C-alpha cells in the first residue's frame, strides 16, 4: 500500500539552529516521485522539491537540503540556520506512476509543524 509517514508532529527550534524533518514512504512501484511542500499560515501549499526514484543524489538549495535514501525509504529535509520565516507546516508527498491508472496523484503525509522562535 502507498503511504507516507511523517513521525514528527511538531518541532520547535530557536533561530539559527539546524533542523531535520523526517519522511518515510511505502510503495510497490519502482518508478515514483517524492515531493516536499511548505504550507505557511496563509494556507497555500508551496512546492519545494521533486525527486524521482532513480535519482538518489542529495540536493542543496540555499539553506535547504534533501537526503533521499532508497535503502531506508526515506526522504529527509534539512533546514540549515533556520529563520522565523521558515515557520510553517511541511508536507512530504509521494506520487506513483502506476497507482490505479491515476497518474500524478499526490499521497501526503500528515505534516510536521515547524516553529522557529527568534
Partner 1 sequence: EAGVAQSPRYKIIEKRQSVAFWCNPISGHATLYWYQQILGQGPKLLIQFQNNGVVDDSQLPKDRFSAERLKGVDSTLKIQPAKLEDSAVYLCASSQLRLAGAGNEQFFGPGTRLTVL
Q: Does 4 bind partner 1 (CB under 8 A)?
A: yes
CB nearer to partner 1: pick between 32 and 68: 32
The full DSSP string for 66-94 is EEEEGGGTEEEEEESS--GGG-EEEEEEE
CB nearer to partner 1: pick between 37 and 66: 37
Parallel, antiparallel or unpaired: strands 24-26 and 3-5: antiparallel
CB nearer to partner 1: pick between 76 and 95: 95
C-alpha cell at 45: 501549499
Q: Which of residues 42-61 bind partner 1 (CB under 8 A)?
A: 42-47, 50, 52
Query: 63 in helix, strand or coil?
Result: coil
Task: Summarize as ranges the residues that interact with partner 1 (CB under 8 A).
Answer: 4, 31-33, 35, 37, 42-47, 50, 52, 91, 93, 95-97, 100-111
Amino acid at each position: 500500500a502507498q503511504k507516507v509517514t511523517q513521525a514528527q508532529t511538531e518541532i520547535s527550534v530557536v533561530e539559527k539552529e539546524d533542523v531535520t524533518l523526517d519522511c518515510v514512504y511505502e510503495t510497490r512501484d519502482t518508478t515514483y516521485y517524492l515531493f516536499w511542500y511548505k504550507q505557511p499560515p496563509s494556507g497555500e501549499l508551496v512546492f519545494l522539491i521533486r525527486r524521482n526514484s532513480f535519482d538518489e543524489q542529495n540536493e542543496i538549495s540555499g539553506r535547504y537540503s534533501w537526503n533521499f535514501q532508497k535503502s531506508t525509504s526515506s526522504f529527509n529535509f534539512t533546514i540549515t540556520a533556520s529563520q522565523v520565516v521558515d515557520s510553517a507546516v511541511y508536507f512530504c508527498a509521494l506520487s506513483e506512476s502506476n497507482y490505479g491508472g491515476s497518474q500524478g496523484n499526490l499521497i501526503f503525509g500528515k505534516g510536521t509543524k515547524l516553529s522557529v522562535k527568534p
